[in-house]
Structure 1
Amino acid sequence: MTTRTVLLDGSTLTCDEVRAVGYGTAKVELGSPARAEDAFAAAREQTGPVYGRTTGVGANKDVEVHEPGLDLLRSHAGGAGPLIEPARATAMLTVRLNQLLRGGSGINPALLPVLAEAINGGAAPPIRLYGAIGTGDLTALSTTALCLLGETPWDGPRFRLASADALPFISSNALTLADAALACADLARLLEASVRVAARTWRAAGASVEPLAYEVQRARRHPGQARVAAALSALLDDHSPAGRLQDPYGYRALPQVHGAAFDALDVARRAVTIDMNSAAENPLIAGEAAWHNGNFHTAPVALALDALRAALVQTASLSTARLATLMEPAYTGLLPFLAGSPGKSGALILEYVAHDALASLRQLAAPVTLGGAVLSRSVEDHAGFGTQAARACLAAREPYEIILACELVAADRALAIQSGERPEDRSLEAEVEAARSALAD
């Protein structure tokens, strides 16, 4: 398999590219380091107090400290919990390297090719799951910095970070953004697949295509709704409806519900993409000055990811509703539960599996942005919890995939019986797993 190359230039990194690099199907190539070099030169010219370079951090912001860097890294590398997957760690390095190429950190640009070497060599720092609240992935990046310094074991290269490089390196939400990028890339594929699965259910149930008409979409003009209706119409071009006046909401309102999910995904990807290609360090080195700021706050990403998970629940709920119609002879013309003979259970258990997964998905959709935190002697008095929103989106992939797989298995079973075939003699568990593999491709 040919490995593609992703150019990191601080401006054009996408969620799909982060996923490709994270899972090893792409390597990175460094773009021009000019902006990073300019920021490095400007940082060395700074006089007076600069947060984290000449002072402590947090509540110690007014305390003058000589070369605080190593103490900062050692004190902040205090994450807890299990190690994250290597793909997430590699994706984090990719995002952080791209941000550093944007300029604004003031870090030594000699670090940039070293990070590229680590990424392309598959070196993953041993990052613990817990330690951030959406105002900077401090534990993850401090651990990475100690790996570079040789104080924490890893398979990657070493680099002697200077004291002045410490805060500029860890002042980022790179892991949160990497998780969000991975989730957006995977959920985009699953949402696309959900339309194809729904089309198969549509055929099995003989549902009307009237709700998909162009006139209906033109009357409301939500872009996602029109997109979904057009995609379904193309997939059902030769479909012969059963002739019912109106179908349940699982069919009739599908363009509206799935369309809203696509729109929410677009908003989330835009928010994540902006932050992956931004200089969000505090302080920001821009021009000849160091600007103390709040660009580290993940509110835009957290809010967008909260909305995306809520939208997923809506589409998943419609999937279980369509699954219920496939169990009904009134919609399929077949025996209850798509059984092979009267009185048999057929595909009944799929409803239980799907609703179990839906319950998990609902729990994951709880908004993180309703929370708050006051830390560091009340100096840091707010948090966006974008980290938790991103993790929840990653976790949402599995139950959403399972729900779609249950619908796909039932739809294919119904279509097979309608065409004169008998249901296969293998377990439904095997069929669901096969459907999940198909959805993941």
Structure 2
Amino acid sequence: MKKIYVDGENLTMNDMISVSRNHVKIALSKKGRKKVFESRKNLEKIVERQRVVYGINTGFGELCSVKIPPSKIEELQKNLLRSHAVGVGNPLSEEIVRAVLLLRANALSKGFSGVRIEIVEKLIEMLNKNVLPVIPEKGSVGASGDLAPLAHMALTLIGEGEAFFNGERMKSKDALKKAGIKPLKLESKEGLALINGTSVMTAVLALSVYDAEKLVKNSEIAGSMSLEALKGTDKAFDPEVMQVRKHKGQIDVAHNLRLLLKNSEIIKSHRNCQKIQDAYTLRCMPQVIGASKEVVDWVKKVVEIEINSATDNPLIFENESISSGNFHGQPIAFAADFLGIAVSEIGDFSERRTARMTDSKLSNLPPFLTKKSGLNSGFMTTQYTAAALASENKVLAHPASVDSIPTSANQEDHVSMGTIAARKAEEIIRNVEYIVAIEFICASQGIEFHKPLKPGIGVQQAYKTIRKYVKKLDNDRIMYPEIEKIAELIRNGEIVRNVERRVGGLR
């Protein structure tokens, strides 16, 4: 059976998805094992020299000047977890917690945290046996890293707090017992190494940017379907236009739209009509969706760096311990906020196309996409839902990273709010999946009115996929399960896969 080996250097986004969503097991590589062992030896040398080192023999935060005697080291680490486990709110989802455990194991295996091999192995064992700590979603300010949520994670290692085992919530000690896992006793620095890092915000953002990549492609497909329904033109996507403004995202989206609309009988039927140009939400898809695509690509690069980074403090090197700031979540905070803004804009664009299709004065289609309007409301209120979600996203897209509230008596006088930013981005993506799902359904209905003319080859394939689950609307029916189903197809990639089998890979 496939395993993913962690060493702090080579973890990929696809590895994260395999572990968090597909339950692929992980193991510590030989290289990672060696680095963890050497790092622990380096820390023990520092302790033997009786140096004062933050978090090893001192208090934490503003209490860093308080020296702790050797006899109290284990108690210090245990107290750290207990005092910092103050998160509130709903538990993080199973897939996020799995990603958190993976990222923490990977970060510690990089070999700069000074923990024993047993710590990394215990995280791996919990993950592989599906013992998932209950981690409340709220309470992190994003520096020093994700202290509160990671404290909840670490409590489970020592048999305290709560955990889910095979989906059932219980005390951690009971979950460990059921899984055949023995709780650990912490030694010097290990509590701090477990909780001082960006693993929660990075886990949330990593899963979100993976979903955002799929969502961008779905928005291109939905947009091309709407263009067919509204009898728009593909002329604005001409390669000559793209070559005089060489933004990669714009060029790629235009390329994809040309593939999707290839051989469209609908477009051909009105090629010489009197209409001069389309509305912006059709004509400017390469420029707007392309800009969002470039943001998603940039955020992915930030995440790929962070998932293989040491974000602990202090960091343990061969001859010294260095107190530094790798725990600060600002890179993730900025990336998460930017992702939220970019994806929110995709939703705005999609909702406006849905509104245009349902407005007979703009679309030249039947009112609300039904021939029996009046007796039937058709797709009138699906647009309401899209509008509500788009409006909600405008609130959620306000950056969290522009705010900072000092903590720990001003010792930690600037924080990133990165975990808030990441959670907001995740919520925006869920909302936009619904907005684009509504566009898919409305555009499929709009295309019905142009039969027997056929749309482009990519649009045809998307239409066939939608029609497997959502039939043509003749009379009003309950539609919320259909919206949920198409949103699921967006998330699981079915629409994109089917279309790419027909037209080739979308950029």
TM-score scaled to structure 2, two decimals? 0.83
Distance 1:238 1:73 in 2: 62
How far apart in 2 are the matches of 1:186 and 1:422?
28
Residue of structure 1 equivalent to 2:488: 437
- CA offset at residue 145 of structure 1? 2.3
Contact 1:340 1:422 in 2 (8 A): no
- CA positional deviation for 1:415: 1.2
Could you tell me how far apart the structure 1 residues matched to 2:472 and 2:247 are? 42
Helix, strand or coil for the counterpart of 1:368? Answer: coil
> For residue 94 of structure 1, what is the aligned residue in structure 2?
102
1:304 is aligned to 335
Matched, 1:374 2:383: no
Alpha-carbon separation, structure 2, partners of 1:435 and 1:331: 26
CA deviation vs aligned residue, 1:272-324 (integer Å, no higher than 9, x gap): 22111011111111232111101111111111111111111222111112112
Structure 2 match to 1:149: 158
Query: Does structure 1 residue 257 correspond to structure 2 residue 294?
Result: no
1:354 to 386, 401, 404: 386
Task: Report if the CA contact (8 A) 2:123-2:157 is conserved.
Answer: no
Matching residue of 1:276: 307
The aligned runs of 1:39-438 (5 Å cut-off) are: 39-46=39-46, 47=49, 48-66=51-69, 67=73, 68-135=76-143, 136-152=145-161, 153-154=171-172, 155-156=175-176, 157=181, 158-239=183-264, 240-241=266-267, 242-243=270-271, 244-329=275-360, 332-341=363-372, 343=374, 344-419=376-451, 423-425=473-475, 426-438=477-489
Post-superposition Cα deviations, 1:91-110, rounded to whole Å, max 9, x if no partner, equal 11011011111111011112
Give, as a single letter, the amino acid of the residue that structure 1 aligns with 2:365.
Answer: L
Q: 1:118, CA displacement in angstroms?
A: 1.0
Conservation of the 8 A alpha-carbon contact between 1:133 and 1:383: yes
Please tell me the residue identity of whatever aligns with 1:109.
I
Contact 1:313/1:362, CA 8 A, preserved across alignment? yes
SS in structure 2 at match of 1:418? coil
Q: Greater shift after overlay, 200-209 or 404-413? A: 200-209
Q: For 2:341, what is the secondary structure of its paired residue?
A: helix
| Residues 29-54 of structure 1: per-residue CA shift (max 9 Å, x gap) | 32222222221111111131110101
Q: Following the alignment from structure 1 to structure 2, what is the Cα–Cα distance between the partners of residues 86 and 124?
A: 7
Structure 2 residue 62 is matched with structure 1 residue 37: no
> Which has the higher mean CA deviation after the structures are superposed, 312-321 or 426-435?
426-435
- The SS at the match of 1:7 is strand
- Aligned equivalents of 2:315 and 2:447: distance in 1? 59
Equivalent-residue separation in structure 1 for 2:9 and 2:347 (angstroms): 34
Deviations 1:246-269 (A, max 9, x none): 100001111111111111111211
Counterpart secondary structure, 1:350: helix
Name the CA shift for 1:355/1:172 in 2 (closer, same or farther; >3 Å): same
Whole-angstrom CA distance in 1 between matches of 2:6 and 2:362: 52
Alpha-carbon displacement from aligned partner over 1:10-65 (angstroms, at most 9, x marks no partner): 12223343233222442223222222222111111113111010111111111111
* Structure 2 CA distance for aligned equivalents of residues 342 and 357 of structure 1: 25
Task: Work out the CA distance in 1 between the residues paired with 2:214 and 2:3.
Answer: 21
- The residue type equivalent to 2:423 in the other structure is R
- Go from structure 1 to structure 2 and tell me whether the alpha carbon gap of 1:81 and 1:341 turns closer, same or farther (over 3 Å shift): closer
Contact 1:184 1:265 in 2 (8 A): yes
How many pairs were matched up? 439
Per-residue deviation at 1:386? Answer: 0.6
Deviations 1:303-352 (A, max 9, x none): 11111111112221111121122124466543122112354432121221
Change (3 A) 1:288 1:145: same
Q: Secondary structure at the match of 1:190?
A: helix
Given the superposition, is the C-alpha separation of residues 4 and 196 from structure 1 closer, same or farther in structure 2, using an over 3 Å criterion? farther
Which of 6, 17, 32 is the aligned partner of 1:19? 17
Unpaired stretches in structure 2, ≥5 consecutive residues: 162-170, 453-470, 493-507
Question: Structure 1 pair 330/233, CA: closer, same or farther in 2 (3 Å)?
Answer: farther
CA contact (8 A) 1:282 1:294 kept: yes
The offset of 1:387, in angstroms, is 0.7
Distance 1:338 1:374 in 2: 54
CA distance in 2, matches of 1:317, 1:78: 37
Distance in 2 (CA, whole Å) between partners of 1:24 and 1:431 is: 25
Q: Indicate the larger mover: 331-340 or 315-324.
A: 331-340
2:6 corresponds to = 8
CA RMSD of aligned residues (A): 1.9
CA distance in 2: counterparts of 1:4 and 1:217, whole angstroms: 43
- Secondary structure class of the residue paired with 1:370: coil
Structure 1, unpaired ranges of 5+: none
**Alignment partner of 2:55: what SS?**
coil
